[in-house]
Amino acid sequence: MRMPAFSRIAAIVVSRRTLATGVATLALGAALPLLGGAAPAWACGDEPTGAATASAPAAAPVHWSGSFIPELPDSITAGGPAAEVGVEIGNSTGAAASVAPVLSFDNTAASSHQGGGHLLRPQDFTVEVMVNGAWRTLPVRHSCDPTLNVDTSSLAQRLDDGHAARLLFRISLSADAPADQQNITLYTGPDAQGETSSHVLKVVRNGAPEPAPAPAASDSPAPANPAKGNGFQTGFFMMANGPLTITPGGEPLEIGVESLKESGTPYQDVRPELVLSTDDPQRFVTQRDVVLQVHVTDGWQPVPVHSTGPSTLIADLSGIKGSPMVNGRAVHFTYRLALKPGAVRSTTKLQARVFAVADDGTASDSDVRDLTVLPAVTAPSASAKPSAAPARQNPAPAAPAAATSAAPSATTGTAPTQPAAAAPATTAPSAEPTGSSSATATPRLAYTGGGSSALPLAGAGGALVLLGAGALVVTRRRRADHR
């Protein structure tokens, strides 16, 4: 019996940990090796660890899986026909859930990390997916250096436990794509924690594989910092060297960034993009928690952020007009970052960096700055003040009585010397707060209200009057008899 395709391709599935950014990446690079060879560079300081998984301890069970469906093409032609790629996403979480595939383009080997080169641009790709018998074009966006992401959010679907979904993608590479690109490494996987898979395509131009670029030794002397190529640099501007902190619901954090180039053709459009990442995806802020603005000529303008997986968020400046750049002149941008209340429940460590992209595809990275998210402190004293305030205010009505009597505590000492008629007054305010009960213990001299004991007292008084009158009559008679 022939093994199902979903099982046959399990051999090429690699651990989710190969994508520390948490995305399924469609990586493009110059002479990138296959998975069995040297590992490619990864964005945001991440690097794959799949090669070491054989000797590593057994990992926690993976509940989602992503893999390619054989047979896959071996090459893609720049300016030629599209390459069709089948993808399968499996659910073994134990329950039905919503999931979507995620594809990205990683251009590490042609980026500034590798001594210059040009990064791919979103317009270099056309990505389509088959939906209901028709091809639907999907947007391609910039992501964390040097990645482009395919927006697959529209492909999310409910998948029952033990089931898999298959999708067919069609990928076209523009004839204007940078010549640095020699190979395309495809990665796929779910948009949730799970396994991913990879496949390599060769880039073909004019019907023949692109020749390898000339070695750097034959060029002019390398610059002092080859990682910056033509001197294109990006970094933080006017920021203190200490740790950066932010509190959800608190004041926004202003982050200044700048980009600079020293030689070459001036740029017409430069856009430094703020990137937030983490080493702990379980304690990361979500896309909905971030409120980001950038300062433009008209003031502060909202900037959307896109998630490239459970560990990376990046500013989307596609709606912002970039700034031109001439050699030796820096371009400055200022971000205002805020987090919504409740974004984190405990102290969370993030990393902030800047990824600048020029109009010709050249890119530059900044250094990484630590950013600590501090949960808002709830002060219990604030809630105690309202309950304490009435206790301090209630004694106020007793102030006039203080002129004729002692403080409330002294009143209890003089109470026995007062007439008995004043005693019922202490029971009248039984429903009042305790703070005013001592004040009502002072004698109420004008109080004449009746009570339930008034009638018996009146009867007893009348009897005493009659008894006294009778005694008077008896006395008078005895005196008369004595006479």
Whether residues 209 and 358 share a domain: the answer is: no
Whether residues 190 and 235 share a domain: the answer is: no
Whether residues 126 and 236 share a domain: the answer is: no
Q: Is residue 77 part of a domain?
A: yes
Whether residues 126 and 200 share a domain: the answer is: yes
Whether residues 10 and 128 share a domain: the answer is: yes
What amino acid is encoded at 109 in this protein?
A: A
Domain boundary pick from 378, 405, 434: 378
Q: Is residue 199 part of a domain?
A: yes
Q: What is the pLDDT of residues 188-200, one digit of tens each?
A: 777 776 677 777 7
Give the model's pLDDT for residue 470.
59
HSE value, Cβ hemisphere, 13 Å, CA-based, for 101: 29
Whether residue 71 has pLDDT greater than 50: yes
Whether residue 316 has pLDDT greater than 70: yes
Q: Is residue 470 part of a domain?
A: no
Q: What is the pLDDT of residues 376-391, one digit of tens each?
A: 765 554 444 444 444 4
Give the model's pLDDT for residue 7.
36
Give the model's pLDDT for residue 221.
33
Q: What is the pLDDT of residues 445-463, one digit of tens each?
A: 333 344 444 455 555 556 6
Total count of domains within the chain: 2
Quick one: pLDDT band at residue 170, thresholds 50, 70, 90? very high
Q: Is residue 373 part of a domain?
A: yes
Domain boundary pick from 163, 180, 213: 213
Whole-number Å distance between alpha carbons of 321 and 324: 10
Domain boundary pick from 179, 213, 247: 213
Q: Is residue 383 part of a domain?
A: no
Whether residues 191 and 253 share a domain: the answer is: no
Q: What is the pLDDT of residues 460-481, one digit of tens each?
A: 556 655 665 555 554 455 555 5
Predicted TM-score (pTM) of the model is 0.38
Whether residues 198 and 238 share a domain: the answer is: no
Whether residues 189 and 106 share a domain: the answer is: yes
Q: Cα 448 to the chain's mean position, in Å?
A: 69
Taking residues 343-361, what's their average pLDDT? 84
Q: Is residue 435 part of a domain?
A: no
Whole-number Å distance between alpha carbons of 71 and 8: 11
Whether residues 205 and 252 share a domain: the answer is: no
Whether residues 281 and 320 share a domain: the answer is: yes
Q: What is the pLDDT of residues 117-129, one digit of tens each?
A: 667 778 888 999 9
Cβ-based neighbours of 135, under 8 Å, separated by 6 or more: 128, 129, 170
Whether residue 104 has pLDDT greater than 50: yes
User: By residue range, what is the domain housing residue 282?
Assistant: 225-378
Phi, psi angle pair for 419, to nearest 5° = -60, 150
Integer Rg of the chain from CA? 41
Whether residues 169 and 229 share a domain: the answer is: no
Whether residues 232 and 306 share a domain: the answer is: yes
Q: What is the pLDDT of residues 140-166, one digit of tens each?
A: 887 766 677 788 889 988 888 888 888
Q: By C-alpha distance, which of 110, 16, 12 is closest to 309?
A: 16
Quick one: pLDDT band at residue 341, thresholds 50, 70, 90? very high
**DSSP assignment letter at 101:** B
Whole-number Å distance between alpha carbons of 21 and 261: 29
We report the CATH number of the domain holding residue 250 as 2.60.40.10
For the chain, what percent of residues have pLDDT higher than 70? 54
Give the model's pLDDT for residue 111.
52
Q: By C-alpha distance, which of 36, 140, 155, 146 is closest to 87?
A: 155
Q: What is the dihedral of CA 92, 98, 100, 106, to 10 degrees?
A: -80
Phi, psi angle pair for 245, to nearest 5° = -135, 155
Taking residues 221-236, what's their average pLDDT? 52
Q: Is residue 324 part of a domain?
A: yes
Burial 300-316 (b: 16+ CB within 10 A, else e): eeebebbbbbbbbbbbb
Give the model's pLDDT for residue 136.
92
User: Across the chain, what does the average pLDDT equal?
Assistant: 66
Q: Give the strand pairing for 369-373 and 348-358.
A: antiparallel
Q: Is residue 33 part of a domain?
A: yes
